[in-house]
Amino acid sequence: MNVLVIEDDKRIASLVERALTEDGHRVTLTHDGQEGADRLIAGNFDAALLDILLPRIDGFQVLHRVRMKHCKTPVLVLTAVDAVPKILHAFDLGADDYLVKPFILEILLARVTAIARRVARPEPVIISVGDVTLNPSRRLATRHGKDIPLTRKQFELLNLLMERRGLITSREQLIEAGWGRTSEVKENTLDVYIHGLRAKLESPLDHGEPLIRTVHGTGYMFEAT
């Protein structure tokens, strides 16, 4: 794969470059946020590794700019701080996965391969369950005639829940769908995303009947009539 590494710590960048190269990938390095955003928008990369603390513009700004330009290259965020609000902010801006420093290089390589493979999958067809419709090409849900924009993670989770409508979807299945098999995402992060989905999808018209039902100790189930 052709991988862009945006990392201002030259020692870490060099280690990552060597590991990726030895794994058979082509690597482009940049140590500056503005340059990284420009290269990502203009280039033809299969994946990108993005540090948060960067010169000129930080990783959050890089994510915002490239997604506003409709750049769909999968991005793995590298962060020195395991702070849930910051990680969730990165996901909302369009990050595909994250890894906390210091990290194991073998895990990094597995994550890069995983995010590239997920993005390479064909987009699923429009799904309709009851009065809920999910449009993957627009990353949009529709209910009661109202369009409901979704973040990338919200879409992945809702897509799996709707595909498995009427069946219990385990927490492990949801975490894998949203963050990948090797993810270290905490279970309370999943709960935050499910809470956000409910807030967007459910309304007083439901008369207290939840669309996404909690199955305690197991996972969640999507139910719509």
More confident residue, 28 or 121: 28
Q: Which of 90, 120, 150 is the last residue of a domain?
A: 120
Query: pLDDT tens across 177-220, in order?
Result: 888 765 667 768 888 999 988 888 887 656 666 788 899 888 99
* Whether residue 137 sits in one domain with residue 112: no
Q: Which of 98, 120, 142 is the last residue of a domain?
A: 120
* Whether residue 216 sits in one domain with residue 198: yes
Helices 171-179 and 152-163: angle between axes, nearest 10 degrees: 140
* Whether residue 215 sits in one domain with residue 115: no
pTM of full prediction above 0.75: no
Q: Which of 120, 135, 170 is the last residue of a domain?
A: 120
* Whether residue 115 sits in one domain with residue 9: yes
More confident residue, 124 or 82: 82
Residue 182: the pLDDT is: 56
pLDDT band at 143 (very low <50, low <70, confident <90, very high): confident
pLDDT band at 123 (very low <50, low <70, confident <90, very high): low
pLDDT band at 103 (very low <50, low <70, confident <90, very high): confident
Question: How open is the CA angle 30-17-27, to the nearest 5 degrees?
Answer: 65
Structural domain including 162 reads 127-222
Question: How open is the CA angle 158-160-161, to the nearest 5 degrees?
Answer: 65
* Whether residue 156 sits in one domain with residue 215: yes
Q: Is the pLDDT of residue 1 over 90?
A: no
Query: pLDDT tens across 28-72, in order?
Result: 999 999 999 999 998 789 999 999 989 999 999 999 999 998 888
